[in-house]
Structure 1
Amino acid sequence: MNRMYNPAYPGAVLHEYIGDLSVTLAARQLGVTSTALTRILNGNAGISADMALRLEQALGTSAEMWLEMQLKYELWQASQRPRHCLSRGGIRPCLFE
């Protein structure tokens, strides 16, 4: 899979879908608390499988779209952090990307 360069956070995309609708009303329509929705919109929580299904039903999008967006975002974020590799000599910084 080709990784998109710095993909959009799914909460930012969801914010575009919600538009001028209040967070409280959008949360009510999704059947979640406004706190839960705010956490997603602000980047403090990701899109879960359950939320993806709720968004599919409410917005007419696909649950897979939301989960793929979340996965691409998380992979990109993880790829930007240094990590260590295992070798016979122990743990060492990875020399390859």
Structure 2
Amino acid sequence: MTDAAEALGVSRKTLSAILNGRAGVSPEMAVRLSIAFNTSAESWLNQQSQYELWHAEQHRGELQVKKLVAA
């Protein structure tokens, strides 16, 4: 992991937090990953967004929301 963190220009702690789900992929990290893996930053951010939405959907039933009806 040290080599990967160094290649990305981040600390081992930062990379570890992302890999272990304690931190998300920020726009800056998405750019770093896109450069390192020759991919698009958008693809990394989309994956992060999908992951966060999946987690939010797991708690849908716990949300106290009332449906709105247009007049």
Give the TM-score category using the shorter length: 0.7 to 0.9
Structure in which a larger fraction of residues adopt strand: 1
Instruction: Please tell me the root mean square deviation across aligned C-alpha atoms, in Å.
Output: 1.1
Structure 2: which amino acid aligns with 1:51? M
TM-score normalised by L of structure 1? 0.64
The answer to whether the aligner puts 1:45 opposite 2:23 as a matched pair is yes
**2:65 aligned counterpart, secondary structure:** strand
One-letter amino acid of the counterpart of residue 79, structure 1: E
User: How far is the alpha carbon of 1:84 from its aligned partner?
Assistant: 1.1
Quote the Cα distance in structure 2 between the aligned partners of 1:41 and 1:29: 15
Matched, 1:85 2:68: no
Write the distance in 1 (CA, Å) between the matches of 2:54 and 2:20. Answer: 18
- 1:32 corresponds to which letter in structure 2? V
More helix by share: 2
Residue 14 of structure 2 corresponds to residue 36 of structure 1 = yes
Q: How many angstroms does 1:55 deviate by?
A: 0.3
TM-score if structure 2 supplies the norm length? 0.86
Q: How many residues align?
A: 65
Runs of 4+ with >3 A deviation: none
Q: Is residue 44 of structure 2 the alignment partner of residue 63 of structure 1?
A: no
Cα deviations across residues 22-71 of structure 1 (Å, max 9, x unaligned)? x1110001000000000001111110000000001111011000000000
- Runs (5+) with no aligned partner, structure 1: 1-22, 88-97
How many Å separate the matches in 1 of 2:20 and 2:48? Answer: 14
Q: Following the alignment from structure 1 to structure 2, what is the Cα–Cα distance between the partners of residues 72 and 59? A: 20
Q: Percent identity?
A: 49
